[in-house]
Amino acid sequence: MLPRFFVRQAAQPRNVRLTFEEHGFYRTLKRRIRQQLGRVDTSTAARSRQIVDALLAATFLTAFLAVSLDSLSVALVCAGCVCATIIAAHNFLHQRDNWRMLAFNIAFLSYREWRVSHVISHHLYPNSVLDMEISGFEPFLCYLPLADLKNSFQRYGSWFYGPFIYGSIFLSEYLKRVMDSLSHGKNRFHLDDLVPFLLPVFMYATNPGHAATVLRLWTFIVLMASFFFGLVGLTAGHHHPKALHSGDMFPDGMDFGLYQMATIVERKGVEGSLLKVLTTFGDHHLHHLFPTLDHAILPQLNCVFLETCREFHVGKLSSTWFSQYLAQNLQLARIRPKVYPKPNDGPRKSTAKIVRMKKVTAALSKM
């Protein structure tokens, strides 16, 4: 497929130091996964679709009940459903166009924007200066360990004002598109940007005559869903002192797959439950390496993945929910770079056991 998009030969070397050696970790794993895909049960992907459909139904049901009962408590439950729906819909924006990816837009986010900032930028260059999910939160949340990037207030004040940033994510994304459209004179909106207004229209249509209540509760739902989204998303696996970030020192020629592994600290407690995985950005290592595969399929690839990890002496880092929240704040405060030694260039003949969840692998443990 790549030859179809060829423009010209590069005029100079790329400024990304990652490699794709034929017998390196990533290319080796990719070959094995390609072979394994011919044997997986793809029908399991239907479960992902059913979960998103159920979350959408729960969102509209709780929204109706929130207005009917004029209840902030029910609206809070609805906000949780909205957040879960958006995170689960993230599974579908990585895939070819489908209607479920539109669920991602239910509270002012845009799947179109995320296909650039997340699918292209974040998945190719996680935790780097090229990662738009890093730069997008600056100067308020500065995750890179660079002393000239953040002062003491940014390092420690963000622990306290961070939750307010979480709550503003959804609305700020919409306002950003409004401001870009006005300042550049080019329409940034599409028909699917009307999706966020389906929920309040439904709330009013099922409870006519309660416009003020609908507006108040809908605003509350959007703000709280945004807060939950930030709380879950920003502690999902990347912003941890043990994770590699730009500013840390790592060798030239690091394998692309090993770099991906080094930038992730998996969240514990969601393994084995597709609902938990879909709604918490779970199975983060495999998802980053093969993002277009449905989350329901990833567990069937785990044996091949772990076997390849054993050969290259690399393992998965992981942490509990609460410790990840604390670690995110420690990463915001971190300004001292860490040194990562050169990982293995190829598989070793020995069969050392893979490092378990709490331990750092031999390739990544010297910090």
Backbone angles phi, psi at 345, to 5 degrees: -80, -20
Which stretches within the chain are classed as H helix? 25-37, 45-69, 72-93, 111-114, 123-124, 132-135, 152, 158-184, 198-205, 211-233, 256-262, 274-279, 284-289, 302-311, 321-333
Confidence of residue 363 (pLDDT cuts 50, 70, 90): very low
Confidence of residue 343 (pLDDT cuts 50, 70, 90): low
Residue 360 confidence (pLDDT): 33
> Which tokens is 174 given?
């919409």
Average pLDDT along the chain: 91
Same domain for 162 and 192, yes or no, is yes
Residue 253 confidence (pLDDT): 87
> Which tokens is 180 given?
């870009």
Same domain for 55 and 163, yes or no, is yes
Same domain for 182 and 76, yes or no, is yes
Same domain for 218 and 96, yes or no, is yes
Element (H, E) at 361: none
Q: State pLDDT tens for residues 38-48.
A: 999 999 999 99
Residue 365 confidence (pLDDT): 35
Q: Which residues contact 289 (CB under 8 A, 6 or more apart)?
A: 26, 29, 257, 260, 305
* DSSP code of residue 248: B
Residue 348 inside a domain? The answer is no
Q: How many CB atoms lie within 10 A of CB 7?
A: 5
Residue 237 confidence (pLDDT): 86
- Contact criterion met (CB below 8 Å) for 127 and 261: no
Question: What's the average model confidence in pLDDT over 275-297?
Answer: 97
Same domain for 95 and 223, yes or no, is yes
Residue 18 has pLDDT above 70, yes or no: yes
> Which tokens is 7 given?
């423009």
Residue 211 has pLDDT above 60, yes or no: yes
Residue 348 confidence (pLDDT): 52
Q: Which residues contact 109 (CB under 8 A, 6 or more apart)?
A: 86, 170, 173
Same domain for 173 and 51, yes or no, is yes
Q: State pLDDT tens for residues 152-190.
A: 999 999 999 999 999 999 999 999 999 999 998 889 899
Same domain for 114 and 253, yes or no, is no
Give the separation between CA 127 and CA 350, rounded to whole angstroms. 32
Exposed, middle or buried: residue 351 (CB in 10 Å: 0-12, 13-18, 19+)?
exposed
> Which tokens is 108 given?
């002012």
Q: State pLDDT tens for residues 37-90.
A: 999 999 999 999 999 999 999 999 999 999 999 999 999 999 999 999 999 999
Residue 136 confidence (pLDDT): 95
Residue 356 has pLDDT above 60, yes or no: no
Give the separation between CA 305 and CA 290, rounded to whole angstroms. 11
Same domain for 162 and 293, yes or no, is no
Domain span at 169: 45-233
Give the pTM. 0.90
Confidence of residue 345 (pLDDT cuts 50, 70, 90): low
Give the separation between CA 147 and CA 172, rounded to whole angstroms. 27
Question: What's the average model confidence in pLDDT over 323-335?
Answer: 95
Same domain for 246 and 221, yes or no, is no
Element (H, E) at 266: strand 265-267
* DSSP code of residue 249: B
Give the separation between CA 162 and CA 155, rounded to whole angstroms. 11
Residue 342 confidence (pLDDT): 67
- Contact criterion met (CB below 8 Å) for 165 and 329: no
Q: State pLDDT tens for residues 88-143.
A: 999 999 999 999 999 999 999 999 999 999 999 999 999 999 999 999 999 999 99
Residue 293 confidence (pLDDT): 98
Same domain for 157 and 298, yes or no, is no
Residue 352 has pLDDT above 90, yes or no: no
Same domain for 175 and 279, yes or no, is no
Residue 362 confidence (pLDDT): 35
Residue 212 confidence (pLDDT): 97
Confidence of residue 353 (pLDDT cuts 50, 70, 90): very low
Distances (CA, A) of 296 to 45, 57, 92, 130: 5, 20, 12, 29
> Which tokens is 76 given?
């809070």
Distances (CA, A) of 89 to 54, 283, 287: 12, 15, 14
Exposed, middle or buried: residue 96 (CB in 10 Å: 0-12, 13-18, 19+)?
exposed
- 17 or 24, which is more confident: 24
Distances (CA, A) of 318 to 50, 122, 301: 28, 20, 19
